[in-house]
A = this chain, B = another copy of it.
Amino acid sequence: MQTGFAFTKLADRLTSIAELAADDLDLLARMPCTISHLASHENVLRRVQAPSHCCLLLRGYLCWRDGPVGQITSIHVPGDVPDLHTIASPTLEPALSALGPVVVAFVPHSFFREISSLSPNLGRALALLNATDLARLRNWSVNIGSRDSLARVAHLICEIAFRLRAVGLANDFRFPSPFVQSDLAAACAISAVHVNRIIQELRRRNVLHWQSKTITITDWQAFAYLADFEPNYLGLRDPSSASRHQPIRPAPAAEAAELATSQ
């Protein structure tokens, strides 16, 4: 996994919310980073590489766990920088934890500061990335607070699928799900037993297929409807398509090959 792969992931994500110029991509391509692997439920120990680095998620899922019961307050997909805000704020109590096996890249804060000052456009894109975090957190509260448990779980799955598509993954509404049911429980603030019953109900309704660590949404329309899913809050430029990714630019052949096999 070469560092060019990391660059591609971030570029995909930024492109999903803002328009980047060729110069911006050139700047991004110079991103220094060190790759690291995590086992399921392992924490990103921010005192190691952090606090001077951010964590760019390359493969798998990360989540923030917070509060006395370790509730999940957000889930991140490849291309995200879950701790982007640590550039500004030193403190943090919640834990950044892996859902399933994970590959991350540590990128120094200084790099983000640098590209922000060199390209106002990139700076804006990064600020936007932060802003979408806010919007998603609000939506997370709304999900937990105002939907019944079926819609709650479905909404979570919708969000993950949609965000994966925005960075060129899960194009066919099929994606890896290394989650255990108690993970979903911690994310939706319901009991693990109840999650189980809901998954069964979703299967019974023929909208969801979940087998061998892979989720397939078999009827997106119906699924999104019963999830009460309305993706505007994600701030994606083109919510309907899952286009942009692969050859962002000329695309070094090795990277393209890896992208094709990844996920």
Which residues of A line the B interface, CB within 8 A? Answer: 64, 66-69, 71, 73-74, 85, 87-89, 91-94, 124, 127-128, 130-135, 137-142, 144-146, 189, 228, 232-233, 235
Q: Check B142 against A87 for contact (C-beta < 8 Å).
A: no
Identical subunits present: 2
In the complex, A175→B105 CA distance in Å?
A: 47
Q: Check B139 against A66 for contact (C-beta < 8 Å).
A: yes
Q: Check B146 against A69 for contact (C-beta < 8 Å).
A: yes
- Majority SS of interface residues in chain A? helix
Query: 5 closest pairs, A vs B, by CB?
Result: A145-B189, A88-B127, A89-B131, A67-B142, A137-B137
* Chain B hits for A133, CB < 8 A: 134
Q: Which of B71, B134, B146 contacts A68 (CB 8 A)?
A: B146
* Chain B hits for A67, CB < 8 A: 139, 142, 145-146
In the complex, A98→B85 CA distance in Å?
A: 28
In the complex, A146→B142 CA distance in Å?
A: 14
Q: Which of B85, B93, B146 contacts A134 (CB 8 A)?
A: B85
In the complex, A215→B145 CA distance in Å?
A: 25
In the complex, A128→B137 CA distance in Å?
A: 17
* Chain B hits for A74, CB < 8 A: 138
Q: Check A146 against B235 for contact (C-beta < 8 Å).
A: no
Nearest-CB distance from A30 to chain B (Å)? Answer: 23
Nearest-CB distance from A183 to chain B (Å)? Answer: 14
* Chain B hits for A139, CB < 8 A: 66-67
Q: Check B235 against A138 for contact (C-beta < 8 Å).
A: no
In the complex, A94→B127 CA distance in Å?
A: 19
Q: Check A128 against B88 for contact (C-beta < 8 Å).
A: yes
Q: Check B130 against A71 for contact (C-beta < 8 Å).
A: no
Q: Check A73 against B232 for contact (C-beta < 8 Å).
A: no
Q: Check B73 against A131 for contact (C-beta < 8 Å).
A: no
* A137-B141 contact, Cβ under 8 Å, with A69-B146, A146-B71: yes
